[in-house]
Structure formats: structure tokens, C-alpha cells
Amino acid sequence: MIFFQGKKSRVIEYLFTIWVIFTLNFFLPRTMPGDPFLFISADEEGEEVAQFSEEQRNYYMAYYGLDRPLYSQYFSYFSDLSKGYLGYSLYYNQPVTIILLHRLPWTLCLVMTAVILSTVIGIVLGGFCAVYADRWEDRLLYFMLIAISEIPAFLVGLVLLFFFAAGMGLFPLSGAMTHFSGYDGFMEKTGDILHHAALPVIALTLTRISGIFLLTRSSIITVLTKTYIKTARAKGISGQRIFIKHIFRNAMLPIVTRVFLSLGSLVGGAILVENVFAYPGLGKLMRDAVMMHDYPLIQGIFLMVTISVLSANFIADLVYKKLDPRISDAAAADGH
């Protein structure tokens, strides 16, 4: 990638990328047909909507500066951004930054737990299978993991929801915590939050294990065939030491890169899964914001997601470089 090239042109290219992303970020939501202040029909049966009069609608358009020409809005968007101000939500009546800060922890809680769990399980199972490659344990696990991993997380979530939450009543159907329950202490509260997060995390984890699993398995198999392992074996170094010292360390490289690079796609999965479980994270907010045509909020969410994906890529690059100093530009580009 581009981060470690001292060349000026690379930096310019990088800035250009960011500018394009910010610009897309501004124009994409505004290209949607419809109007944030037009409420004719209700979204749900029995729902009450305040039908704004034409006068009232114009008042709000002016209030939020949406009646100004697009280029002028575009400039003020950039000047706001440079001040770190993400705007004011049209629908939620709150600064976008505050809304995001309230929602982010819940999504992070899901995503991070899922990443950690899936990575650990994937590595363990992958290592196991690499060692027992082509025995029945390997084949069974391989088959199962591939089969599960291809099912999108939200479908897994749906089944979990129907069987374990609705059918057996083992888990709550939705939400992130029990409200007004008067917790008896920190442990109870944590337990409750974990209980609510369990199914979404399982759904996200299950579908992510296989990527790590396959990578671990194949890279360990590859390392096992390398000559230096054979040499080490011939020298009589114990199996465990070989595993930890050589095999594992060498296999870690692609895994770490993979984990960071896959964060972006995880966001997509999380959006759907949060909608299945009505989890109060960014995913649900994103859908609602799109439904409401809340431009500043959509922009804010996009910005946050793209920035986190960018920084995940950046970290991936850093880690990659740290682990393998020989890294060349081409290899990093193929890292995906």
C-alpha cells in the first residue's frame, strides 16, 4: 500500500482518495429520491405521522440550510468537517457526533467480541486440522466450517433467534440489555449484557471462523513442508517447540493481516445482524437513517465506517511490516 512510500505523489494520491471518499459521502445520500421533511405515509401500520404542511416543510429546509444550492452546502460540509463537526441530525435532533458516540460501543462490543472469538477459534481449529490434515477430524471440521461460513450472518442469526430465543426462550429476542431492572451489581449487569449479546455474537462469529480457519490451516501446512522445519526436526527439537517457534509465528503473518483487512466486511454483516436482533448499534441506526433520509447522520456513519476501515488497513500494513521486514509493495497489494 501507499503508507510507507516516502514519495510525495503517493501522499497526494492518498489525499485524493480521502477527498473522493468525503465527496461521495456528501453526494451519495443526497442523490436518494425523496425528502427528509415529507411525511405522507406512515412506515408502520397504526403509526402516527405528523404531516408537515408545506409552510412547515419550507421552514425546516431553511432551518437546516437544505434550501441553499448544493455547492454552498458542499463547502460548508467541508468547513464543518475541518472543525470536526459532523452536523446535526435532521431526524434525531441531536449532534451526529453524540448519536454516534452512544451507538458505537454496542457495535464495537459485538464486532470486537466476534473478531476475537472467531480468530481464536479459527486458529485453534485450523492448527488442529493442519496437524491432522486429511484425517477424518480434519475433513469433518473442514466440511462443517465451510458449510456454515457461507451462510450469511443474518440468516444464521435468524435461525438462532427462532430456535433459541423464540422457540426455547433461552435468550432475549432483542435489545442490548434489560431496562429498569435494578441490577444487583456489576456482575449481574455484565451478565445481562452478555446474555443479550450472545446470539448476535455467535451469529457473527460462526460465519467468520472459516476464513481464519482455512488460512491457518493452509499456512501451517505450507510451513510444515518448509526445509527449515525438516532441519529442526532432524536436529531433534521437540514438536511443541517447533510448533510454537517456527510454525505458529510464520503462520501468524497472513492471519493478522487477514483479521484487520476483514474488518470492513464485518461491518456489513453487523448491520444485518443488528437488524435481526434489534440491537441498538450503528447497523440499526444506519438503516433508520437511510429510511429517514437523515443526510448528516448517513454522512457521519459512512465517515466513521470508512475511517475505521482505513485505519484497520493501516494497522494491517504496520503489523505486516513489523512481522515481516522483507515486505514489498506488491506483496502488500496482494494481501487481500
Partner 1 sequence: MNKVKILGSIFLIMLISFIFYVNSNKKREEPENRKPIINSPFEVDTIRLPGGDWGYPSPYAHYPRGPGGFKMCLIFDSLLERDEKGLIPWLAVNYEIQDNGKKFLFTLRDGVKWHNGKPLTMEDVKFSLLYASKHPMTWSYIFNKIETVEITDKNKVLVIVTNPGPVMLYNLGRTRIIPRHIWEKVNVPKEFTATEAVTGCGPYRLTEYSKEHGTYRFEAFKDYWGPAQRVKTLEFIPVSESILAFEKGEIDMSGLPTDILPRFLNDTRYKIVKSPGFWGYRLLFNMGETSSLKDKKVRQAISYGIDLDELVAKIARGAAIPGSAGILPPDHVMYNPFVMSYSRNLKIAKGLLSKAGYDLLNDKGLRKNKAGKVLSFQVLCSGREVRMVQILKERLFEIGININIQSVDGKTRDARVRNHEYQMAITGHGGWGADPDYLKIRFGHDFSRSNSPSVSGLPGYNNDTLNLLFHQQHMEMNKEKRRKIVFRIQEMLAEDVPDLPLFYTTGFTVFRPEKYNGWEFMFDHHSLAHSKLSYLEKKIRK
Partner 2 sequence: MMMPGKYLTFINRFSKTGQTGLIIVGIVFFMAIFAPLISVHSHKLSSGPPLSSPNGEHILGTDELGVDLWAQICFGSRISLVIGMGTALLAGSCGGLIGVLAAYSGGMTDRILMRIIDIITVLPDLPVMIVLAAFFGPGLINIIIVLSLFSWVATARIVRSQVLQLKEQLYIKSAETYGAGTWYLMKRHFLPEIFPLVAVSMIRLTGKAIVAEAGLSFLGLGDPASGSWGLIIHHATSFTGIYYTNFWKWWLIAPWIALTLMVSSLAFISRDFERFADPRMDRRKNRYQKQ
The site for partner 2 (CB under 8 A) is made up of 13, 16-17, 20-21, 24, 28-29, 31-34, 133-134, 143, 146-147, 149-152, 154-155, 158-159, 162, 166, 173, 218, 221-222, 224-225, 264-265, 267-268, 271-272, 275, 286-287, 290, 298, 301-302, 305-306, 309-310, 313, 330, 333-334, 336
For residue 216, the partner it binds in partner 1, partner 2, none, with Cβ less than 5 to 8 A by kind, is none
Residue 296 neighbours by CB under 8 Å, 6+ apart? 86, 87, 88, 89, 90, 96
Count the alpha carbons within 13 Å of 66 in the hemisphere toward its beta carbon: 21
Grid cell 445482524 is found at: 273
Task: Tell me which amino acid residue 167 is.
Answer: G
**Closer residue to partner 1 in complex, CB, 172/269:** 172
- CB 324 → partner 1: shortest distance, Å? 24
Question: What gap in Å lies between CA 268 and CA 5, rounded to an integer?
Answer: 31
Distance of alpha carbon 164 from alpha carbon 228, whole angstroms = 49
Our finding on whether 34 is near partner 1 (CB under 8 A) is: yes
Q: How far is the CB of 54 from partner 2 (least distance, A)?
A: 24
Cβ at position 182, least distance to partner 2 in Å: 27
Instruction: Report the nearest approach of partner 2 to the CB of residue 309 (Å).
Output: 5
28 binds partner 1 (CB under 8 A): no
Of the candidates 29, 156, 18, the one whose C-alpha atom is nearest the C-alpha of residue 90 is 29
CA distance 232 to 234: 5
Q: For residue 93, give the DSSP letter.
A: -
Distances (CA, A) of 276 to 170, 188, 205, 283: 17, 25, 15, 10
Q: Applying CB under 8 A, does 85 fall inside the site for partner 1? A: no
| Cell triple for 206 | 460462526
Instruction: Find the binding residues for partner 1 in span 155-184 (CB under 8 A).
Output: 166, 169-171, 173-177, 179-182
| CB 305 to partner 1: min, Å | 17
Single residue of 14, 74, 78, 92 touching partner 1 by CB under 8 A: 92
**Binding residues among 207-246 for partner 1 as defined by CB under 8 A:** 239-240, 243-244
Residues 250-269, interacting with partner 1 (CB under 8 A): none
User: What CA–CA distance (Å, rounded) separates 160 from 83?
Assistant: 44
Q: If contact means CB under 5 to 8 A according to the sort of partner, which of partner 1, partner 2, none does residue 150 touch?
A: partner 2
3-state secondary structure of 88: strand
